[in-house]
Amino acid sequence: MPNYLPEPFRIKVVEPIHMITLEERRRILEKAGYNVFNIPSDKIYIDLLTDSGTGAMSDRQWAGLNLGDESYAHCRNWFHFEKAIRELTGLKYIIPTHQGRAAENLLFSTVAKDGMIIPNNNHFDTTRANIIANGGVPLDLVIDEGKDPSLEYPFKGNVNITKLENVIKEYGKENIPVMMLTITNNSGGGQPVSIKNIKDVKEVVSRYGIPLFFDACRFAENAYFIKIREEGHGNTSVKEIVKEMFSYADGCTMSAKKDGLANIGGFIALNNDSLAERIKERLILIEGFLTYGGMAGRDLEAVARGLEEVMDEDYLAYRISQVKFLGDLLEEAGVPILKPTGGHAVYIDARKFMEHIPQSQFPGQSLVVSIYLQAGIRTVEIGSLMFAHKDPRSGEIVYPDLDLVRLALPRRVYTSAHLRYVADSIIKSYNNRKNLRGMKIVEHGESNLRHFIARLYFVD
């Protein structure tokens, strides 16, 4: 029996969920083009599509919504938002955006010019797409341990420092406007980056004058992993660890829909005066005035309060143990999962789950479809459908290192009984795996963000 911590909260408001029939689910999948992004949410029993913006806010956050000041400029909530982020990051300029990808767009449209390289441990899909849309080239430099799903390694989000240095020498520092570091590393399994690696990355890039920006969506989960896994940090508070992490950053982009514990929101924070000026100008053009950036006053308040709450160590201990609880249930039944479990999700190794389906036939998507059909659970593919792309030079299709199915846990939403149901359902799919079939894209295969819009069908 896996260990778990009880939820450190009581449930005050509930939202009913319902299961529809197998026949209805079959019909809905067909109508959705076998793409679960197209399924209406009331046709989903348990929704593990994403942990982004799907969390339950606390009573303190809901109370904060009522204190929303909807003045156009310099509303009360802006000052709270700015203070919360400044205390967290220590960075000079705080620039609000309506969500993370808007922050990415503002950053890359300002710094990336044609052919410029932007390294990361692993870029998330919107980060990658925003870099490409602005003429840049995203590069993934995660350590080799991070590419082996079955390997137990404490910091699989770390960057390969030798590769980083080689990339800088090969392309030239003038062609690398910024180094990104995603904490935790979502595309690589929600895996953390160690303080030591953050320091090493900073040391290398600062020698070449390249700024280090965090993609900080899940900074608190990353800090908690440092506390429990990295030697010498066990007695340091998460707040102190967060402070140290950000002391190495020249800036960050953040979606507050994750560790901001809010349903919408984001920001860029940075130290560089002239870059901040250029980004602020673009902000007014595409997001909104400098003190709301696309958010309502009440949303600014919810984010400010969420950023304060997320560093509560009882919450983080429960959060990380809830993910582990689901992972342990699956692992005990022999389901291949990415190990160790990460901060916000359990990732199933889809290629190992279905060895009979080649990468070109989207094994992860086939599993996503099967899990919805069998159990009404929505998950998401993070693999060939999301990331396989044509190499612009050779014209060959480049497949990602991992084909994963992510079971993302919304924050403070599902109980351990829900998770037992999820585990039981996936174990059934595992025992039936030989009957699963490969898939092909029938529409929208060329888009950089095709996983959101593609329609698929089974191969013959």
Closest alpha carbon to 218 in 50, 381, 450, 96 = 50
List all residues 6 or more positions away from 125 whose beta carbon is below 8 Å from its beta carbon: 187, 386, 387, 449, 451
Q: Residues 193, 202: contact at Cβ < 8 Å?
A: no
Residue closer to ligand PLI by CB (options 128, 430) is 128
- Dihedral of CA atoms 376, 377, 380, 383 in degrees, nearest 10, equals -90
Please, what is the minimum distance in Å from the beta carbon of residue 401 to ligand PLI?
Answer: 17
Task: Say how far apart CA 257 and CA 294 lie, in whole Å.
Answer: 14
Residue 405 is inside which H or E element, if any? strand 404-408
Residues in 76-135 that interact with ligand PLI by CB under 6 A: 99-101, 124, 126-127
Please, what is the minimum distance in Å from the beta carbon of residue 159 to ligand PLI?
Answer: 15
Residue closer to ligand PLI by CB (options 357, 409) is 409
Residues that contact ligand PLI, how many (by CB under 6 A): 15
Residue closer to ligand PLI by CB (options 156, 257) is 257
Please, what is the minimum distance in Å from the beta carbon of residue 163 to ligand PLI?
Answer: 20
Q: How far apart are the first and last CA of the chain?
A: 41
Q: Residues 346, 323: contact at Cβ < 8 Å?
A: yes
Please, what is the minimum distance in Å from the beta carbon of residue 215 to ligand PLI?
Answer: 5
Residue closer to ligand PLI by CB (options 124, 372) is 124
Residue nearest ligand PLI (C-beta atom): 100
Note whether 182 binds ligand PLI by CB under 6 A.
Answer: yes
Binding mask 249-268 toward ligand PLI (x if CB under 6 A, else -) reads: ------x-x--------x--
Residue closer to ligand PLI by CB (options 299, 357) is 299
Residue closer to ligand PLI by CB (options 367, 382) is 382
φ, ψ for residue 340 (rounded to 5)?
Answer: -70, 165
Closest alpha carbon to 139 in 126, 128, 147 = 128
DSSP string, 154-184: TTTT-B-HHHHHHHHHHH-GGG---EEEESS
Residue closer to ligand PLI by CB (options 301, 430) is 301
Q: Residues 39, 15: contact at Cβ < 8 Å?
A: no
Q: Which residue type does 403 have?
A: D
What's the order of all strands across the beta sheet hosting 380-382? 345-349, 404-408, 380-382
Residue closer to ligand PLI by CB (options 318, 347) is 347
Cα dihedral sign for 181, 162, 345, 1?
A: negative
Note whether 191 binds ligand PLI by CB under 6 A.
Answer: no
Binding mask 17-46 toward ligand PLI (x if CB under 6 A, else -) reads: ------------------------------
φ, ψ for residue 176 (rounded to 5)?
Answer: -125, 95
Residue closer to ligand PLI by CB (options 58, 120) is 120
Residue 90, both tokens: 């220590």
Please, what is the minimum distance in Å from the beta carbon of residue 217 to ligand PLI?
Answer: 5
Taking each continuous run of H as one helix and of E as one strand, the counts in the chain are 17, 16
**From candidates 39, 46, 52, 267, binder to ligand PLI by CB under 6 A:** 52
Please, what is the minimum distance in Å from the beta carbon of residue 137 to ligand PLI?
Answer: 18
Please, what is the minimum distance in Å from the beta carbon of residue 47 to ligand PLI?
Answer: 12
Closest alpha carbon to 300 in 335, 266, 333, 323 = 266
Q: Which residue type does 24 have?
A: E
Residue closer to ligand PLI by CB (options 213, 362) is 213
**From candidates 89, 134, 158, 186, binder to ligand PLI by CB under 6 A:** 186
Residue closer to ligand PLI by CB (options 128, 357) is 128
Closest alpha carbon to 182 in 84, 267, 252 = 252
**From candidates 35, 50, 158, 384, binder to ligand PLI by CB under 6 A:** 50
Q: Which residue type does 200 have?
A: D
Note whether 55 binds ligand PLI by CB under 6 A.
Answer: no
List all residues 6 or more positions away from 383 whose beta carbon is below 8 Å from its beta carbon: 350, 351, 359, 362, 363, 364, 365, 400, 402, 403, 404, 405
Please, what is the minimum distance in Å from the beta carbon of residue 23 to ligand PLI?
Answer: 29
Residues in 279-338 that interact with ligand PLI by CB under 6 A: none
Please, what is the minimum distance in Å from the beta carbon of residue 356 to ligand PLI?
Answer: 28
**From candidates 107, 117, 204, 217, binder to ligand PLI by CB under 6 A:** 217
Residues in 133-162 that interact with ligand PLI by CB under 6 A: none
Residue closer to ligand PLI by CB (options 255, 366) is 255
Contacting positions for ligand PLI (CB under 6 A)? 50, 52, 99-101, 124, 126-127, 182, 186, 215, 217, 255, 257, 266
